[in-house]
Structure 1
Amino acid sequence: MVMPAFREEAAIGSTLDALLAVRDRLGLDIVVVDDGSDDATGRVARERGVPVVRLPVNLGIGAALRAGFRYAVEHGYRRVVQFDADGQHRPDEIAALLAVLDEGAHLVVGDRFAAGDYRVGYARRVAMAGLRLGVGLLTRRRFRDTSSGFRGIAEPLLSAFAAHYPTEYMDSVEALVAACRAGYDVREVPVHMDERAAGAASTQRMRLAYHYLRVLVALVGSSRRSLPPAPTT
């Protein structure tokens, strides 16, 4: 499990407790990547015996994920589940992502919309629809949830992400596009999205629409970036 975290001292404790409760059953190891937090995020994780990779300054979630993927590769792991620190993902759904990786997928995206209980505001809904359209045009694939932070990644894509994962603000969407364009097996699986356990989102609500539209514009401009191609079978 790779968990990027920035200023999540209020939420990360309960999130880790929930993961630790299923760790043995699912065979999980967990690493937290503290993205330069100026609060107790890292300390809360270490108090629970969870290793922490600390970035010296806040570099953004893309850089934090790349550091987490690099940690996984350097420690011999062949697959990773990306899991947010805010408590909105459900640990009991990790097995569903792992099952799809077992089937041969390289990237599994948790689709928050499939269950029908994930609600977003109008502006964000419009912006996310624009993202889906942009991703569809670039990949010739239809995805329902292009920006989910609940994902499973397996080799050889894991090593590619460890070296080349995008570190800009459109990291998760660009990574999805790059994986598709490089020929990796990318799938979606239904998941649920709960309310944030505690704390505040790093992106303010009134800026979300602007954020997503900015991502769409930047995504089109960066669509020529590439990952190493998927191996042929």
Structure 2
Amino acid sequence: MRKLIIIPAYNEGMNIEATVKDIQENASDFDYVIINDCSKDDTLEICKKNNYNYVNLPINLGIGGAVQTGYKYAEKYEYDLAVQVDGDGQHDPAFLRTMAEYMETHDLDMVIGSRFITKEGFQSSFTRRLGIKYFTVLIKLVTGKKITDATSGLRMAGKNVIKLFANSYPKDYPEPETVVAVLRQGYKVEEIPVVMRARQGGVSSITMKKSVYYMIKVSLAILMEALRGKR
């Protein structure tokens, strides 16, 4: 089985070396590709210096465009599964083998790493946890499926979902919307418990103002996705 780690990276110069080292030590049976989303810091120079496998985007596409580039890469090179691991060090690669085994043994199309099943590790801020619970309720209403951590970026996709995401992926704040899209297509999705870490360096791009926009935009996108037929 060919397995790919997609690492979206925007201004992750403080974290990218530690992220790749963590992957090499704890998920050595996975290939990886860094999607440098036109970073303004030294992310690209670090990738070149260390001879990392990377794709350099000439313009900033945002998290959605960067991740979709990774799925296009996975589809082009015929990977059996692809998993997103953020470049900020929050996702622990030690869980990837467990996720892959769970996906295979349960014949799933997607596995989501959830921090809220066993409630260990970094749990995010109180306001963000409220937002996540809101999306849990909304997704359950439109799909019938309870997803405890719909904003988790640690998501593993099989070939069917790789193809779906390579063809269509939201530009920003994509996680809850794409979970709904996958479920609406009739694909099988499950969560397993993982332990996440706080950002290892740098600053999150999600401000309070963006959080309000996020809640409104994603809610509308989920409702629109629920009204669409299967593609």
- Return the TM-score normalized by structure 1: 0.89
2:193 to 190, 193, 211: 190
Shift of 1:209: 3.9
Aligned to 2:72: 70
- TM alignment of 1:49-198, pairs within 5 A: 49-103=51-105, 104-117=107-120, 118-164=122-168, 166-198=169-201
Distance 2:8 2:227 in 1: 26
The alignment covers a number of residue pairs equal to: 224
The answer to whether the 8 A contact 1:124-1:208 is kept is no
What stretches of structure 2 of length at least 5 have no aligned partner? none
CA distance, structure 2, for counterparts of residue 114 and residue 207 of structure 1: 29
The counterpart of 2:223, out of the listed 205, 208, 220, is 220
> Identity of paired residues, percent?
29
Contact 2:181 2:225 in 1 (8 A): no
2:14 matched residue in structure 1: 10
Q: Is the 8 A contact 2:83 2:155 kept in 1?
A: yes
Aligned to 1:29: 31
Stretch moving more, 208-217 or 107-116: 208-217
The letter of the residue matching 2:85 is F
Alpha-carbon separation, structure 1, partners of 2:226 and 2:38? 29
1:123 positional shift: 2.1
Counterpart contact for 1:82–1:150, Cα < 8 Å? yes
SS at match of 2:23: helix
SS of match in other structure, 2:226: coil
The ranges of structure 1 where at least 4 consecutive aligned residues each deviate by more than 3 angstroms after the TM superposition are 221-228
Root-mean-square deviation (CA), in Å? 1.8
| Whole-Å separation in 2 of the counterparts to 1:30 and 1:112 | 23
Instruction: Report what 1:40 is aligned to.
Output: 42
Contact 2:35 2:55 in 1 (8 A): yes
Q: CA deviation at 1:208?
A: 5.8
Bigger drift between 175-184 and 121-130 goes to 121-130
Aligned to 1:30, what secondary structure does the other structure show? strand
Distance apart, 1:211 and its partner CA:
4.2
CA distance in 2, matches of 1:57, 1:207: 24
Q: Would the alpha carbon gap of residues 225 and 56 (structure 1) be closer, same or farther in structure 2, given more than 3 Å must change?
A: farther
User: What is the one-letter code of the residue matched to 1:216?
Assistant: S
* Residue number in structure 2 paired with 1:231: none
